[in-house]
A and B are shown apart, each in its own frame.
Chain A
Amino acid sequence: MDLAKIHYPVDGDRKNKMKKIFNKIIILLASFLLFTAIPVSASQINLTPENNQLKVGETFEVKLILNTEDESINAMEATILFPNDLLILNDIRDGNSIINFWIEKTADSSGGQFNFSGIVPGGYIGEEGQIISLVFKAKKEGNGNIEITKCKALLNNENSAESSLTVNNSSFIISGYVGAETAGISEIKDEEKPESFMPEIASDENIFDGKYFLVFSTVDKKSGIDHYEILESKLSNYHLSFGKWEKAESPYLLKDQKLQSHIFIKAIDRNENERIETVSPRNSLVWYKNTSIIIYAVLLLLLVIFLLCIIKKFFVKIKNNY
């Protein structure tokens, strides 16, 4: 539109009217230019409940989904707030997450919040990237919101710039009580072991005073990893070991800093399927310095002597009987 060609009438009222129309056109044009200048591409993070009309006692699942809108996101952190007077956080499901390595994943059910941070090496581009799934149970009647706060998504580039993020929260209504026929969310059927993995021994001056530590990580695509357990043993078969499996997290400070032990790492998923990986000793002991082998040998020896004694007694008894 060529504004220079607009004709202004001399009459005062008509002049004011025309000015108002002119101002409106200017505002409209400015608005148009303003909105077209805003980039349409911005990542979205959405809380998507499977159901937001709930009953007291009912369990329901809320998924946190990332839509990157063609951006490549390689790191994320956020806090999810929920009303702890209305909801109990029953379960956290990360089995099918796009996050490959979790930095933090802590739930405070009584405080009504869940914090997480993690990375996707190489970045994630996609519309339906599931970050995590939270399973809640409705405690009492009422209305509430589940909200995402302190959310950051970083771009996979040399500057690690922050993506302009659009956050979509979720609301719910709890009304009435769950009947006998109302089913909650289904349990995940998982008969598969966690995926195989390769633990590594490392040392670095910036961690554990330069002592040797073990790093490990794996995933379970169905129910998710519940926890890890570690056993350090001088024996190559963990069934024969005197040691106990202990819960562990990566990085794990090794007890045997001489690296003479076999290290067994057990990954256990939420359905209690297990996968055990082994790291062999870097500095193997010769047999006569391996106390476990000596103890077993002595026990075996005592057992054999005991059996010999019994056999001897048996024959002596038979002989005496005759």
Chain B
Amino acid sequence: MKKKLKKPSSEFWQSIKHADKSALPKSTTGKILILFFVAIILFSGHSAYAALTCSIANVCNSPDTAVFKMSASSNAHAELSSQSNYSKYVCCSGVSGIGNSCAGTSVTVARLSSATNAHVEENTQSNYANNACLSISSGTVSVGYQNANCTGYHTTLASISGITNAHVGDASAYNTKICASATATVPPTPPGGGEGAEGPLVTTGITFSGRAYPLSNVTILKDGQIAITTIAGPDASFSVTLSNLSTGNYTFSVYGEDKNGNRSTLFTFPVFFTFGSNTQVGGIFLAPTIDVDKTEVKKGDNIAIFGQTVPSSDVTISVHSDKEYIGKIKADANGVYLYNFDTVPLEYGNHDTKSKTAFLTEITSFGKTVAFLVGDKNVLKGEIEGACTAKGDLNGDCRVNLIDFSIMAFWYKKLSPPAKVDMNNDAKVNIIDFSILAYNWTG
């Protein structure tokens, strides 16, 4: 039934005309421009919360997170985010649940010499005890240091002048960049569902505890990929918990990285989780790291064999070729050991050395094997040699991970593979090359 409309008064039309003229610009172009800018603002605002983004800012309001603060944009000192002396914030945003806690799922972005007015060092070093961290409530977070750019990471946090005792600056100040990525485990859910459940079915967790090296980075791999990192205490002990796991079979690996960037062998074990279980894996005792000061040693001269382990522990060093020579030494209060081996009894040629540690009633297995040559001259090992020369690091990012696996998989069973992909120099990429990669894996 149609309702008869009451005829509007002439004042009504006057008011519409008046309102129309006052609300909009006189020209149609003006109207279009306003609408255009409204649309742009709408869309640019939408993209603001896509992924981890960090920048230097004068303010860093919640929910954005200040990871640490700097005294200036370049040649600066740093302070922890809890301090309030500096005005340049390394401010991160874009991923839900990020924070600057050093607990839970977190990584150390940099170590500071003090809470404020501090020099910084990379998280692989252990000279400083104040950690600036990036954390996430649920998801994954990673930090790395790269030259020139942050290829492979979401964002650049800042840059530093050196590995340790360094000044900080914004992304363009120094060549060494502090890079980070973070991904929340709760992605945007489109209307209509169909993406599967997340919450109630994943309540399983696992706690790892044991001994690594004092103030060292300890990394936990879950099925070959970095799940969480933590830092061992001054007594080398560590404990870290991983939660929100599904039921099923997992392979976990643990490794430590000493103050020189040398890594331990992977300590790997399978775990089967049932629904809602909380598993404790204690007594992990990482084998000591090891390195030598020379790649070639003149027969009769000493070669220094050194590394890091638990403070005041007993280190057994094995030098072997045809015959095995055993040496014993005690690690110092920082877990560092140094054994000068006299090469007089060794034959000319290639030799290997490895070490293991005994502490209280626990003993590790032998760790990584390091090779050296007994010859007619001394050749010192380069400073940068070490972690970055690991076999399997095909793209030279100091890690052996999915990227290297993908490069190798690209050449699997193909003709004329590049020399660096063919690990065992047999002119083909096959399962043996992958095994070498898996042995040197860092995640």
B154 touches A300 (CB 8 A): no
- Shortest distance between the CB of B225 and any CB in chain A (Å): 7
- CB contacts under 8 Å to B, within A302-322, are 304-305, 308, 315, 318-319, 321-322
A119 touches B434 (CB 8 A): yes
Complex alpha-carbon distance, A126 and B53, angstroms? 43
- A319: contacting residue among B13, B42, B190, B438, CB under 8 A: B13
Please tell me if B176 contacts chain A, counting CB pairs below 8 Å. Answer: no
- A215: contacting residue among B223, B266, B406, CB under 8 A: B406
Q: Which of A8-16, A20-28, A169-177, A200-208 contacts B (4 or more CB under 8 A)?
A: A200-208
B194 touches A272 (CB 8 A): yes
**13 extra A-B contacts, CB within 8 A, seeds A124-B270, A192-B196, A321-B5:** A74-B438, A75-B435, A98-B251, A100-B224, A120-B268, A192-B198, A193-B198, A200-B181, A204-B407, A206-B394, A206-B407, A262-B50, A287-B44
Complex alpha-carbon distance, A197 and B443, angstroms? 13
Complex alpha-carbon distance, A101 and B424, angstroms? 20
Residues in A with CB closer than 8 Å to B325 are none
Please tell me if A95 contacts chain B, counting CB pairs below 8 Å. Answer: yes
- CB contacts under 8 Å to A, within B183-201, are 183, 185, 187-188, 190, 194-198, 201
Complex alpha-carbon distance, A44 and B249, angstroms? 19
Residues in A with CB closer than 8 Å to B46 are 235-237
Given the known interface contacts A196-B140, A293-B44, the answer about A125 and B269 at a Cβ–Cβ threshold of 8 Å is: yes
Give the nearest-CB partner of B371 in chain A. Answer: A158
Please tell me if B348 contacts chain A, counting CB pairs below 8 Å. Answer: no
Residues in A with CB closer than 8 Å to B437 are 119
Complex alpha-carbon distance, A272 and B197, angstroms? 12
Which residue of A121, A152, A305 has the most chain B CB atoms within 10 A of its CB atom? A121
Interface residues in chain A, defined as those with a beta carbon under 8 Å from any beta carbon in chain B? 72, 74-77, 95-98, 100-101, 103-104, 117, 119-126, 129-130, 152, 154-158, 160, 190-193, 195-198, 200-204, 206-208, 213, 215-217, 219, 221-222, 235-237, 239, 250-251, 262, 269, 271-280, 282, 287, 293, 296-297, 300-301, 304-305, 308, 315, 318-319, 321-322
Given the known interface contacts A125-B269, A202-B152, the answer about A77 and B225 at a Cβ–Cβ threshold of 8 Å is: no
Please tell me if B39 contacts chain A, counting CB pairs below 8 Å. Answer: yes
Give the nearest-CB partner of B410 in chain A. Answer: A207
Q: Mark B429-443, 1 if CB is under 8 A from A, else 0.
A: 001101111110101
B interface secondary structure, majority: mixed
- Shortest distance between the CB of B33 and any CB in chain A (Å): 10
A interface secondary structure, majority: mixed
A296 touches B39 (CB 8 A): yes
- Shortest distance between the CB of B289 and any CB in chain A (Å): 16
- Shortest distance between the CB of A125 and any CB in chain B (Å): 7
A322 touches B421 (CB 8 A): no
A72 touches B268 (CB 8 A): yes
- A213: contacting residue among B36, B225, B406, B441, CB under 8 A: B406
Given the known interface contacts A204-B407, A235-B47, the answer about A297 and B40 at a Cβ–Cβ threshold of 8 Å is: yes
Residues in B with CB closer than 8 Å to A222 are 246, 248
Q: What are 22 contact pairs spanning A and B, CB under 8 A?
A: A74-B435, A96-B248, A98-B249, A121-B253, A121-B266, A123-B266, A154-B435, A192-B202, A193-B198, A196-B140, A204-B394, A207-B407, A222-B248, A251-B409, A273-B197, A276-B188, A280-B52, A287-B40, A297-B36, A301-B32, A301-B35, A305-B32
- Shortest distance between the CB of B138 and any CB in chain A (Å): 9
Complex alpha-carbon distance, A301 and B32, angstroms? 7
- CB contacts under 8 Å to A, within B1-55, are 5, 7-8, 13, 16, 31-32, 35-36, 39-40, 42-44, 46-47, 49-53
Residues in B with CB closer than 8 Å to A98 are 249, 251, 270
- Shortest distance between the CB of A266 and any CB in chain B (Å): 9
Residues in A with CB closer than 8 Å to B225 are 100, 197-198, 217
A157 touches B434 (CB 8 A): no
B249 touches A221 (CB 8 A): yes
- CB contacts under 8 Å to A, within B122-157, are 139-140, 142, 150-152, 154
- Shortest distance between the CB of B114 and any CB in chain A (Å): 33
Complex alpha-carbon distance, A222 and B245, angstroms? 12
Q: Mark B385-428, 1 if CB is under 8 A from A, else 0.
A: 00000000011010000110111011110000010110010000
- B35: contacting residue among A197, A236, A282, A304, CB under 8 A: A304
Complex alpha-carbon distance, A195 and B31, angstroms? 49
Please tell me if B221 contacts chain A, counting CB pairs below 8 Å. Answer: yes
- Shortest distance between the CB of A68 and any CB in chain B (Å): 10
Which residue of B150, B195, B406, B411 has the most chain A CB atoms within 10 A of its CB atom? B406
Complex alpha-carbon distance, A77 and B94, angstroms? 42
Complex alpha-carbon distance, A112 and B147, angstroms? 51
Please tell me if B247 contacts chain A, counting CB pairs below 8 Å. Answer: yes
Complex alpha-carbon distance, A117 and B408, angstroms? 13
- B410: contacting residue among A251, A271, A308, CB under 8 A: A251
B407 touches A219 (CB 8 A): no
- Shortest distance between the CB of B434 and any CB in chain A (Å): 5
Given the known interface contacts A101-B402, A124-B251, A222-B248, the answer about A297 and B439 at a Cβ–Cβ threshold of 8 Å is: no
- B43: contacting residue among A213, A272, A296, CB under 8 A: A296
- Shortest distance between the CB of A262 and any CB in chain B (Å): 6
Given the known interface contacts A160-B436, A204-B395, A251-B407, the answer about A301 and B431 at a Cβ–Cβ threshold of 8 Å is: no
Residues in A with CB closer than 8 Å to B411 are 206-207
- B418: contacting residue among A160, A198, A206, A322, CB under 8 A: A206
Please tell me if B75 contacts chain A, counting CB pairs below 8 Å. Answer: no
Please tell me if B369 contacts chain A, counting CB pairs below 8 Å. Answer: yes
Which residue of B42, B152, B405 has the most chain A CB atoms within 10 A of its CB atom? B405
Residues in A with CB closer than 8 Å to B246 are 192, 195, 221-222
Residues in A with CB closer than 8 Å to B43 are 235, 287, 293, 296-297
Residues in A with CB closer than 8 Å to B249 are 96-98, 129-130, 221
Give the nearest-CB partner of B16 in chain A. Answer: A315
- Shortest distance between the CB of A265 and any CB in chain B (Å): 10
Residues in A with CB closer than 8 Å to B195 are 193, 273-276
B47 touches A156 (CB 8 A): no
Give the nearest-CB partner of B50 in chain A. Answer: A236
- Shortest distance between the CB of A251 and any CB in chain B (Å): 4
